Structure 1
Amino acid sequence: MKKLTNFDLETKKVKKLMHTESKDEMRDKILDAALKRFTHYGASKTTMNEIADDLHCSKASLYYYFPDKKAMHIAVLQKIGEAYFRDMEKEAENVTSASQALFKIVDIRKLFISKFCRLEIFQLLKDVKNTFLEEKKKGMQREIELHTKIIIAGNESGEFNVENPKQVAELLVQASAGLRFAVPDHVTDDMDIDDEMFELVIEKQKQLLTVFINGIKAK
């Protein structure tokens, strides 16, 4: 067997890297195409064939990256979820008024859900048990952490007086999330709510936030 030279080994590394980048790029293209379809037609009404047609590739190519549409659906939500958290984390990093930053978080949440309402996030929560629920836990923890950061910033500026910022942040995030299920007078089988009810949930979240802020303001 011919012994590989340093040049050969380096060339092999470069080719492997290019192949990896190519795979990552193709995966991103698939997710972008799926996101467009999901947000326009709804996730449940979109087929793998339609996504493949949009990309001018075979359906088999999609299955190379994702075992089924549900796995692709989860990957799409993970992708947009990162953008969602980046927007919220910007607010937590650049706090001028902690109260305003907390209200801004609610507005970011409202914009995100309004924009991606056809992704059937709550339907997926009902259908899958382990994979997405684990992502949901991580997402909740990230929200608690950034709320904690904002409350700490409020303490440091003299706007708030909170002994345990993380505990208060956890309570606020959990209470806000609970309104999603407590406010509607009924929930459909797909766990969805209409626009009017969604606006009411957001309004209640802001009312709840007002009560929290009044309770933790420095006297």
Structure 2
Amino acid sequence: MAIKMRGWFDDSTRRDSQHRVAALAGCVGTAEQWQIQDAAWRNDVLERFGLPYFHVREFATFAGPYEQFKDKPVLSLELSQAILGTSQKSQLRSFGAMTRLDDLTRFNRERSRNISHYALNIYTCMFNIKQIFRKELTGDDFVQMCLDISSDDQGTNQAIKLANLYASTHPWHGPVENIAPQPMPKEGMARHTPALQVADFVVAEMRKYT
């Protein structure tokens, strides 16, 4: 029996004096849960705050429609709470992975390897999803997953192939090979896809702990 789920996630790579990490995170759930999530996102976040879409980077700089949050911490908190409230309504599950780039560079150099941080994070997310649903799996059940990544560049395609290679060599990979990431065109997608806006928020929240 297959448990059909759909997941969306976004990537964030940042190198600066404080953060040298690459992160990948998002949410996963059933088609019904995503319908609830999309409706809640449009009503409780976009319409309530008069936003055409949500983007963390623009929110952080108070650009365009986000100028209303400048010097208004209470309003900003209300937005964050509204965003979290949508996931409470839909009961989506969050997942994520993060790689310290300096540590991975050192590991590759010392072990003569060429492990990709992007592929490693994709694989870790795939494995995390398997762990999330392990209690729902019995016997020959498996999770049939389609993960939509907000990018369609050649590097993403290569990373997906490497992620599946990493999974195939792991002794506990189990049904993770049934979780298939798929790249999506990134240009303009996030502005019209609430699920990618959710993923953008999740990955930004995860990065706060680096």
Would you call these one fold, judging by a TM-score over 0.5? Answer: no
TM-score (norm 2): 0.27
TM-score (norm 1): 0.26
Larger radius of gyration: 1
